Structure formats: structure tokens, C-alpha cells
Amino acid sequence: MQALEPGIVFWILAVVILVSGFLVVTLRNMFHCALCLILCLFAVAGIYVLLEAEFLAAAQVLIYVGAVAILIVFTVMLTSDLASESLIQHNENGTIAFVVCALFAIGVPYLIKNTGVWMPAKGELISDNVGSIGKYLMTDFMLPFELVSVLLLAALIGAIVLARKERS
Amino acid sequence: MISPVFAVGELDGLFRWLNELLVSIGLPQPWQDVIMYAALSATVFGLLALIALFLVWWERKIAAHIQQRFGPMRVGWHGWYQTVMDALKLLQKEDIRVATRDKVVFFWAPVICFVAAFSAYVCMPFGRGLIVADLNIGILYIMAVTTFTVISLLMAGWGSNNKYALLGGMRSAAQVISYEVPMVVSLLAVILYVGSLSMVDIVESQSGWFNWFIFRVPFGPIAFVTYTVAAIAEANRTPFDIPEAEQELVAGYNVEYSGMKFAMFFLAEFINMFTVSAIAATVFLGGWNGPWLPSWVWFMGKTLSMVFLLMLVRWTYPRLRVDQLMEFAWKFLVPVTFANLILAGILKYLGYWE
Amino acid sequence: MEFQLPEYNLRMMLPEIFLFLWALVVFLFDLLSKRRSESAVGYLTLLGLLICGGLLATTGYGRGFGNMFFSEPMALFFKIIFLGSAFMAVGSSFGIIKQKIVNHRGEYFGLILLSTVGMMFLASSQELLSLWIGLELTTIPLFILAAFFKDDKLSVEAGIKYFVFGAFSSALLLYGFSFLYGMSGTTEIVAMKMNLAALFIANGSLGVVPLVAMVMIIAGLGFKLSLPPFHQWAPDVYEGSPTPIAAFLSVGSKAAGLVAFAKIFVNGLWAFWGAEMAPNDWGYLTGILACAAMIYGNVVAIRQTNIKRMLAYSSIAQAGYIMIGMVAVNEWGLEAVAFYVFAYLFANMGAFAIVAIVEDKTGSCQIGTYRGLSQSSPGLAACMAVFLLSLAGIPPLAGFLAKYKVFAAAISLAGQSQDYTWLYWLAGVGLLTTVFALYYYVNIIKQMYFSAEESPYRIKPNAPAVAVVAIGLIGVVLFGIYAEPILQFVKDIPAAAGVIPR
């Protein structure tokens, strides 16, 4: 199995993710930021494909690119302050945040790489990952799966309560 | 990894020959794969370009005959290569670019639209073995890549810096997102029954007499109708074509585009229509299954019948209003499709028509 | 494909299922009665909570959904606390829904119920995934409830602040969980403990990754428990959101965070951590946070002029005291935590109920409003004084016993083990800050009783609010004097949580 050897595709995706992620938080035009976010999320889906998690990749594209990102674009378009040309995305806390994030970004991979203590995965990778995800959702992980629907119901009702225009 | 299926039915010999040629001249393995993929993509791309050109001509003829005129008649027999000439004309036209456009967004919008429309065909089974890659997430993949169309429309609307374009883009995004829900859920009813997302598995489960899902199971016809309605909306066609309503929005998101870029939007639209028809043919109408004739003939026949249906609808019905459109999606189609999905689940559990 | 369906055993989760369905009933009732009823929805909600309590009493111990859902003493005890806090929050909401919430009464009560359902599932989960989803189900309705006065800038600010902090903390928590999952290859807490122990034996150490995971989980839960430095949201959110929701946040949501903490750290990361792996990493970290919470919360509370902000800082400090019990992982630690939360429930919910009553009448939460309250409404003032004294930990009220048990647990563990001598310091800080705390609690009593002028407000609370205050009063006084049944009940908790007496 050579899939874990990072090939050229991985590096291309990694560069795309990092550059577009950086652009999301630096560009002055919010619409461009949203588009970069879409690119970033799409490239992450590419990483999932490399890891042979096709279902996750498709779900990532369908949910993040197809729904979440489009909602963000809508919000940008419908909010006049956001749609105006220039927007400054940083404030006086920027330096501290940068230092913390940089430490985190360097530190965590370093720690992970230098800690050899991980539970080894059992057996082969499952080839039919759509089927096995479905199986686990319906058997072992049924309770969280059902709970998520309660959670979504609460969020749905809450969104309506907050967004609805009141008749006085 | 996704393994490419190089055994491509009737085209098999040609690709086998190409592969042997590549091996014999001693290219390293990665480059062989790259060239094989490129050849496959070029084949599919060429085929789809031809289909799109044909569909444009066909639509014009149908429209004309419904309105009791002839349509294009001059260029060739019944004007059969009219669209080829039109395409050549569009290629030569000046690429007009509005001064106030958002440069990058304006440029990339048609490209993304075009690529999104074509990439759905990676796992479209044109016939027995005629598939680029039989992904195990097949139909989910198609649904995922086609969402990029929405983004391209929004980009076109924003990039043009024109109020009509922006309104058109937003309307279209709202519409496509809303109708994606009933569309996917009506497909889910069948997927639940098949137990696989792979397009090939879906087709193969429908082999035999009257095993097409539209006939075989009680929920089939309902799912087919809801899917077709949602698909018309997905393809932005009348009666759901408010994103480009001429009278209100001039031409919607593509009003500022001309020449080559306009042609890309235009072709992508027809490819999208073909895509939704092909999915309908595959999922509900048995795909390539059918007696006597070769499999790809059956597939093309069914898909083109669906396309014909969509065209008839377009030239027969008036356009809906925005609010009617949204209400229809959320208050009628979504509940019906979910009820249908529950029905499918119950039937599957009871073990009927397996 | 082969399916091995889990043994559902739905009987075990009957109370949760009932409460969820009841929330739907509340939504529908409000909708179908055309939103005309002013308080019927509220009474319906109270009835649902009572029935759910009854069902809880008849549910024994056991498990459901394979290894996903455990009904054990700690879960049961905390579920009672959740239901109690929801009951008291709903009971003190009647004034507000009459005056301020015109349109969405059903949603207001239904979301409280859904949040309670989340807490109850959280208390019963023995697995990181359902634990996290339970925590989300607890928090997401609270985001909305905090911003429920849409026209009030402070309330919207509260909602947004709580949402941003809550979302960020959930992300941190989940990131921490992913490290634990990556190391142990399982999300089940008990299996995780076994796998980590096996890894420890095989490798001789676990490296730094568990520490990274712990830091992130403590940060994530620290937001929920409002432990400094993750507390900044609390005062603003308490101030802006509807008063009963602030009360629910300070007791229900905090107790949910505590259960999550106990499950992950005491159940999952402690027991094998025992003698040979002595430096109890999360213990040190939590100890520092608890120390910061006690000092910061109590000192800043002194300077507050808004009673809701003062109670917010007081609840930060109380979280610090509770964490002392959590760090003291001996046979008394968890027991003390459970009893502390129980006593805190009555005192804090009662105090907030009175704040809500006064706010309904006067429209103000300034401490100045309470000046001379003893002359115009003596009963209310007396109850408030009792609640505040219990929060301060004055005998013979329940708050005193709770504080005593927490400190006793810490000191006894410090005496038992060399590795835990630092707990002396922690208990010392706790005792010292209790004195600070007395100052601002007594300040309010001083305003109410020793003020020359008489309060211009003559307050007549509505019946449910009176009931809530009465419940609080009975709880604070009764369990301060006669706590034996509760103490008997909480004795089982450490054993069930896997804290083996040494």
C-alpha cells in the first residue's frame, strides 16, 4: 500500500489549502474571501480522496461547498456593509493571535510526529467505506446519529425564532 | 484509490491498442496513466460537445414546430449544422468585458460552470462497460460536483457588477439549493432499494423484463415525477427559469457575457439538461438495459426521450413567480419526497419487490 | 452485509424520550392554540418536567443502545439536578413571558426542554461522540434563548457572544477528542482507558499527545464551566439574556459541563493514572484554573453594581470551588462535587428567581434597586438573604455543608498521598476567598435591611415564581440541616465512576 506516501498531488493540495486559507483571512473583499473558502474546502475534499475516504470527500463537497459556502456567499451579498469594497480583517489583537496560531501550527504536528505512541489500526482498510459507514451509523453509533436529528430540530426551530419578522 | 475502468465496451479495442502502444514505447507508468486518462476525457468531452450542439439545434426545431414555424432551414438539410456555424460565429466575436467587472471572478465563472457540467460524466454509464470510472459513491459524486454550477452562477452575477446579473445569480442559487433537496431525496428512495450508490449497480439491479424502477415498485412513479420536476428546476428551465427571465432580468446572470464565455455558459446549460435526463434514465428507466439493441443505443434513446420531455415542457408552460417557486419546493415537493422515502423504507423492510 | 443490531433497551431512556416528545407537544400546543394562552404553555412545560421526574424515579440502573447509554448513579443524580434547574427556570419565567415574550412562548419553553434533553443524554453517555453531541444539544438551544429578546441590544449581544465562544470551545473540545481517539482507536471512554493503559505498559510512557488533548479538552470544557481564562463571555451573557435563562446557564449548563468533565477525566483519564504515573497532569491544570476562578471571580464580583453580573462572577467562583472536589479524586471527591451542585442548584436558582421577580416589577437589575426591600416586601428580602448566605457558605445552610465536603475531600487526599500535598494550597485559597465572597453577598443583605429609606416598590410575585422560591428555600434549609438521604445517594457515585478507594 503506497497510498500513505505523500505524492505530488498531496503537495499541490496542501499548497492550495494553505494559500487559499491564508487568503480567506487577509483579502479585503468579502466575496473573494468566500470564494477562497470554497477553494480551501474543496481542496480538503481532495485530501480525503487521497486517504481513500471517498464518501467523506463527496459529503464535504456536497455540504460545505454546496450548502454552507453558498449560504456564506448569500450573507455577503445581502449585507451591504460586507459587500462594500474594502474591509480590514485584523485588529490590535492580530499579533498575539498570530503568535499563538503559529506556535500551535508548528507545535502540534511536531508533537504528533515525535510521539510514537499510537494505537495501531486493526487490519486492512475497509474498501466499501460507504457501506461500512452506513452499517456503523445504524448499529454501534445509532444513538449519536439519532441525537443529531434532535439537535438539528432544535437548531431549525431556533433559526426560525431568531430570523422571523415579528408582527406587532 | 479510484481505479479507472479501461474496459470500455465497444471502444475497448481502441483503448487497448493505445495502452499497448504506450507500453511498447516504454513510457513510465504514471505517464501512461496520464495519457490514458487524457484520451478518455477527450473522448467523453468530444462526445458531449457533439451532444450539446445537437441539443441546441433540436431545441430550436421543437420550439419552431410547436409555434408552427420551421426554425433553421438554410444550413444543411433542415439546418442540421446551423449550431456548428453559430458556435464558430461566437468564437470569432469580440470578447466584450465590462470596465467595472470584478476581473478574476468574471473570468473564472464560465470556466467553473463548464468544468462542473462536464465532470459529472466521470461516472455516467453510457452503456454496458462504457463508463470512465465506476466510483462506489457514483451518484453522490455527481450530485456533489454539480453543486459547483451554483457557485459559478453566483460568481457570474457578482463579477458582472450589474444588478440584473446579480439578481439572476441569487435567484438561481436559491432555486437550485431548494430543489436539490427534493431531487436528492427522490433519488434516495431508489438508492435505498438498491443498497448501493454506484451507477453501475443501480443499472444492473434493473435488468430483466419490467424491472425498471418506474414500473417495479409503487414508489417509483412518484419518485420519478418529483425527480423530473426538481430536475427541470435544477437545469433552470421554464417553468422554473426565473434566473434568466428575459422580461424581468434581461437575461439574468449571463447578461454581460459575450462571445466565447457566453458560449461556455450556453453549452453548459444544455449539458446540464442532458445530465439530469441521463440520471433519470439511469435511475428510473433502467439505464442501458433493454432487449435486442446495443446497450448504448438504449441509454441514448432513454436519455433523449427525457430531454424531449423537458423541451416539450419548456415550450408549453408559462413561467412561475419566485414566491410560487419556493413555496412549491418547500411546502409540496419536500414533504412528498420524504413521505415517498419512508414508503420505500417500509417496503424494503417488508421485503417486497426486491 | 451483516448487521448486529444493538440491544436498544429503550426503557432505560424513557425519561429522555418522553421529554423530547413533550417538547414537541409544547411547540404544537402553542401553535395550535394560536399563541393566545399566556401561561398555559408554561404550566404544560412544568407538568412535563414533573412527569419526566416521575419516570426518572422509576428507571433503574442499566444500559441501552449497546454501550452507548448508561443509567448509573452519577447520571441519575445529575439528571435530577438538570430537571430541577429546568423546572425552576421555567417557573421563574412566567413574569417575563407575560411582559416581554409575545410571539414565541412555545419555542421559549420547548427550547429549554430540548436543552434539558441534551443534558440528560450527556449525563448518560459513556462515549465521546454522543457526549459531544449531548453537549451541543445542551448549548445550541441556549444560544437562541440568550438572544430571545430580539429587540434588546444587550440580549442580542449576549446571544452572539455566547454563540461565538460556544462554537469555538466546541471545536477545541472536538479537536482534543480526536487526539484521544487517534491514540486509543476507540471513542468509548472505558475502552479508551484500557487501550491507553495497554499503550502505557507497552511503551513505558504516553508521550505528550495526551497532554495536548487534555489542554484542549480542559479549555473547551473551561468555556462551558466559565473557568478563567475562559470566562469572559459569562458576565455579558448573564447580563443580556433573560434572567431565568441566565439562571439555567449558571446551574444546568454548568452541571452539564461538570458531568462531561467527570466522565472524560475522572472516568477516562484518571484511574490507571494511579501511583506509577503519578503526576496527575489534568489535576495540576484544573487546580490552577480552579484557583484562578476562586480568586478572580470573588475579587471582581465585589465591584459589580448589576446583580446579574455579580451573580455571574459569583458563579465563576463557585465553579472554582466545585473543581476542587473534581481534582480530589478520592472516594469523597466526586461525592462532594455532586452534593455541591445539588446545594448550588437551590441557592442559585432561588436567588435568580428573586432577581427575576424584582426585574419584572422594576425593570432593573441594579443592586441599588434592592435598597430597603425588607420594609416593602419582607418575605422576598428574607428569602434572598437566605440564598445569598447559602451561596456564601454560612452554617446551617446547605451551602456550608457543600463547601465543607469539598474542602474535606481535598484535605484528606492531601494528607493521604505525597503527590497531592498541593491540594492543601488549593483548599487554603478556597477558604481564604470564601471570606472575600462573604463581603459582596452580605453587601446586598445590607442594602436590603440596613437602608434608611423604604423601597418604593411593592412586589407581588406570581404563583409559579413563589413556588420556585419556596422550593429553593426548602432545599437550602432542609438539606443544610438534614442532608442524610442525599448523602446516602451520592455515596454510590465514586464507586460507579471507577474511582477506587485507596
**Roughly what angle, to the nearest 10 degrees, separates helices C398-416 and C463-481?**
40
Residues 6+ apart with CB under 8 A from B351: none
Contact call for residues C424 and C414 (beta carbons, < 8 A): yes
- Three-state secondary structure readout of C446-461: HHHHCCCCCCCCCCCC
From A108's Cα to the closest Cα of chain B, the distance in A is: 29
CA dist., res. B9 & res. B11, Å (int): 5
Percent of chain A with pLDDT over 70: 85
Residue C348 lies in a domain: yes
Bridging pattern class, strands C69-71 and C62-64: antiparallel
Per-residue confidence (pLDDT) for residue C402, from 0 to 100: 92
| Res B245 pLDDT > 70 | no
> Rg (Cα) of chain B, in Å, rounded?
21
Total CB pairs under 8 A between chain A and B: 68
Cβ distance of A54 and B166 shorter than 8 Å = no
Touching partners of A (3+ C-beta pairs < 8 Å):
B, C
CA dist., res. B135 & res. C368, Å (int): 70
CA dist., res. B153 & res. B142, Å (int): 18
Q: Which of B172-176, B274-278, C123-127, C155-159 has the lowest mean pLDDT?
A: B172-176
For residue range B190-202, list pLDDT tens digits in order: 888 888 888 888 8
Cβ distance of B170 and A77 shorter than 8 Å = yes
| Res C331 pLDDT > 80 | no
Positive or negative CA dihedral for B292, B297, B303, B306? negative
Read off the pLDDT band of A134 (50, 70, 90): confident
From A62's Cα to the closest Cα of chain C, the distance in A is: 21
Q: Which of A78-87, C17-26, C251-260, C279-288 has the lowest mean pLDDT?
A: A78-87
Q: Which of B2-11, B31-40, C3-12 has the lowest mean pLDDT?
A: B2-11
CA dist., res. B33 & res. A79, Å (int): 48
Residue C3 lies in a domain: no
Residue listed under C-alpha cell 456548428 = B84
**CA C496 and chain centroid, separation:** 21
- Is cis: bond before C396, omega within 30 of 0? yes
Contact call for residues C356 and C465 (beta carbons, < 8 A): yes
For chain B, the distance separating the N- and C-terminal CA atoms, rounded to the nearest angstrom, is 31
Does A27 touch chain B if contact means CB atoms closer than 8 Å?
A: no
Residue C350 lies in a domain: yes
Q: What is the DSSP letter of C366?
A: B
The partner residue sitting opposite A121, judged by closest CB among C117, C130, C185, is C185
Nearest to B139 by CA among B324, B281, B292: B281
For residues B54-73, one letter each, b for 16 or more C-beta atoms within 10 angstroms of the residue's C-beta and e for the rest, the string is bbbbbbbbbebeeeeeebbe
Residues of A in contact with B136 (CB under 8 A): 54, 128-130
Per-residue confidence (pLDDT) for residue C73, from 0 to 100: 87
Read off the pLDDT band of A123 (50, 70, 90): low
Interface predicted TM-score (ipTM) of this complex, two decimals? 0.88
Q: What kind and span of H or E run contains B108?
A: helix B103-119
Read off the pLDDT band of B349 (50, 70, 90): confident
For chain C, the distance separating the N- and C-terminal CA atoms, rounded to the nearest angstrom, is 48
Does A66 touch chain B if contact means CB atoms closer than 8 Å?
A: yes
Cβ distance of B140 and A55 shorter than 8 Å = yes
Touching partners of C (3+ C-beta pairs < 8 Å):
A
Amino acid at C497: A
Residue C177 lies in a domain: yes
Residues of A in contact with B155 (CB under 8 A): 35
Q: How many domains does chain C have?
A: 1
Question: What integer best gives the mean pLDDT of chain C?
Answer: 87
Q: Which of A110-114, C448-452, C496-500 has the lowest mean pLDDT?
A: C496-500
CA dist., res. B56 & res. B52, Å (int): 6
From C75's Cα to the closest Cα of chain A, the distance in A is: 17
The residue in chain B having the minimum alpha-carbon distance to the alpha carbon of residue A61 is: B144
CA dist., res. B322 & res. B172, Å (int): 10
| Res A52 pLDDT > 90 | no
Q: Which of B11-25, B287-301, C76-90 has the highest mean pLDDT?
A: C76-90
Residues of B in contact with A74 (CB under 8 A): 170, 173-174
Q: What is the DSSP letter of B237?
A: -
The partner residue sitting opposite A66, judged by closest CB among B105, B135, B144, is B144
User: Please, which residues bridge with residue C188 across strands?
Assistant: C127
Contact call for residues C98 and C38 (beta carbons, < 8 A): yes
From B78's Cα to the closest Cα of chain A, the distance in A is: 42
Per-residue confidence (pLDDT) for residue C460, from 0 to 100: 84
**CA B234 and chain centroid, separation:** 9
Q: What kind and span of H or E run contains C63?
A: strand C62-64
Mean pLDDT of B197-221: 82
The partner residue sitting opposite A66, judged by closest CB among B105, B147, B155, is B147
Cβ distance of B166 and A31 shorter than 8 Å = no
For residue range C381-416, list pLDDT tens digits in order: 999 999 999 999 888 899 999 999 999 988 988 888
Give the residue numbers in B contacting A (CB under 8 Å), as ranges: 1-2, 102, 104-105, 135-137, 140-141, 143-145, 147-148, 150-151, 154-155, 158, 166, 170, 173-174, 177, 180, 196-197
Percent of chain B with pLDDT over 90: 11
Positive or negative CA dihedral for A75, A77, A81, A84? positive
CA dist., res. B319 & res. B300, Å (int): 29
Residues of A in contact with B154 (CB under 8 A): 70, 73, 77
Contact call for residues C397 and C450 (beta carbons, < 8 A): no
**Roughly what angle, to the nearest 10 degrees, separates helices C153-184 and C189-203?**
50
Contact call for residues C262 and C401 (beta carbons, < 8 A): no
CA dist., res. C444 & res. C355, Å (int): 12
| Res B5 pLDDT > 70 | no
Which of C4, C100, C107 should be substituted to probe chain A, the one whose Cβ sees the most A Cβ atoms within 10 Å?
C107
Per-residue confidence (pLDDT) for residue C348, from 0 to 100: 93
From B108's Cα to the closest Cα of chain A, the distance in A is: 11
Per-residue confidence (pLDDT) for residue B240, from 0 to 100: 75
Does A52 touch chain B if contact means CB atoms closer than 8 Å?
A: yes
Mean pLDDT of C301-323: 92
Cβ distance of A143 and C65 shorter than 8 Å = yes
For residue range B70-85, list pLDDT tens digits in order: 888 888 888 888 888 8
For residues C165-182, one letter each, b for 16 or more C-beta atoms within 10 angstroms of the residue's C-beta and e for the rest, the string is bbeebbebbbbbbebbbe
Per-residue confidence (pLDDT) for residue C311, from 0 to 100: 93
Annotate B109-168 with DSSP letters as a single string.
HHHHHHHHHHHGGGG---BTTB-S---TTHHHHHHHHHTHHHHHHHHHHHHTT-HHHHHH
In 3-state terms chain A splits into helix, strand, coil percentages (rounded to 5) of 75, 0, 25
From A23's Cα to the closest Cα of chain B, the distance in A is: 14
Q: What kind and span of H or E run contains A142?
A: helix A142-163
Total CB pairs under 8 A between chain A and C: 115
Residue C402 lies in a domain: yes
Does A112 touch chain C if contact means CB atoms closer than 8 Å?
A: yes
Work out the number of other CB atoms within 10 angstroms of the CB of residue C31.
11
Positive or negative CA dihedral for C336, C483, C247, C375? negative
For residue range C176-195, list pLDDT tens digits in order: 999 888 888 888 888 888 88
The partner residue sitting opposite A111, judged by closest CB among C1, C136, C209, is C209
| Res C117 pLDDT > 90 | yes
For residue range A53-87, list pLDDT tens digits in order: 888 888 898 888 888 888 888 888 887 766 666 77
Q: What is the DSSP letter of C250?
A: I
| Res B44 pLDDT > 90 | no
Residue C272 lies in a domain: yes
Does A16 touch chain B if contact means CB atoms closer than 8 Å?
A: no
| Res B8 pLDDT > 70 | no
Residue listed under C-alpha cell 466521470 = B122
Annotate B20-85 with DSSP letters as a single string.
HHHHHTT--HHHHHHHHHHHHHHHHHHHHHHHHHHHHHHHHHHHHHHTTS----SSSGGGTTHHHH
Cβ distance of A74 and B170 shorter than 8 Å = yes
CA dist., res. B259 & res. B95, Å (int): 5
Does A152 touch chain B if contact means CB atoms closer than 8 Å?
A: no
Touching partners of B (3+ C-beta pairs < 8 Å):
A
Phi, psi of C242 (to 5 degrees): -55, 140
From C122's Cα to the closest Cα of chain A, the distance in A is: 10
Judged by phi (left if over 0) then psi (alpha if -120 to 50, else beta), residue C226 lies in: left
Mean pLDDT of B242-264: 74
Cβ distance of C203 and A138 shorter than 8 Å = no
Residue C115 lies in a domain: yes
The residue in chain C having the minimum alpha-carbon distance to the alpha carbon of residue A163 is: C150
The residue in chain B having the minimum alpha-carbon distance to the alpha carbon of residue A68 is: B177
Residues of A in contact with B166 (CB under 8 A): 77
Read off the pLDDT band of B249 (50, 70, 90): low
From A91's Cα to the closest Cα of chain B, the distance in A is: 27
B321 grid coordinates: 413567480
Per-residue confidence (pLDDT) for residue B10, from 0 to 100: 54
Per-residue confidence (pLDDT) for residue B11, from 0 to 100: 61
Judged by phi (left if over 0) then psi (alpha if -120 to 50, else beta), residue B252 lies in: left
Read off the pLDDT band of C54 (50, 70, 90): very high
For residue range C270-279, list pLDDT tens digits in order: 655 454 444 4
Per-residue confidence (pLDDT) for residue C170, from 0 to 100: 93
Cβ distance of A130 and B158 shorter than 8 Å = no
For residue range B147-166, list pLDDT tens digits in order: 888 888 888 888 888 888 88
Per-residue confidence (pLDDT) for residue C499, from 0 to 100: 60
Residue listed under C-alpha cell 456550608 = C400
Cβ distance of A70 and B105 shorter than 8 Å = no
Residues of C in contact with A118 (CB under 8 A): 182-183, 199, 209
From A145's Cα to the closest Cα of chain B, the distance in A is: 18
Residue listed under C-alpha cell 419578522 = A165
Per-residue confidence (pLDDT) for residue A82, from 0 to 100: 65
Which of A101, A117, A156 should be substituted to probe chain C, the one whose Cβ sees the most C Cβ atoms within 10 Å?
A117
Work out the number of other CB atoms within 10 angstroms of the CB of residue C417.
15
Mean pLDDT of B312-337: 87
Tell which wins on pLDDT, C118 or B263: C118
Residues of C in contact with A108 (CB under 8 A): 212
Contact call for residues C182 and C260 (beta carbons, < 8 A): no
Which of A36, A72, A77, A135 should be substituted to probe chain B, the one whose Cβ sees the most B Cβ atoms within 10 Å?
A77
Q: Which of A63-72, B232-241, B245-254 has the highest mean pLDDT?
A: A63-72
Tell which wins on pLDDT, C456 or C392: C392
Annotate C465-479 with DSSP letters as a single string.
HHHHHHHHHHHHHHH
Nearest to C494 by CA among C68, C73, C71: C73
Contact call for residues C333 and C327 (beta carbons, < 8 A): yes
Contact call for residues C22 and C55 (beta carbons, < 8 A): no
Residue C4 lies in a domain: no
The partner residue sitting opposite C209, judged by closest CB among A117, A122, A167, is A117
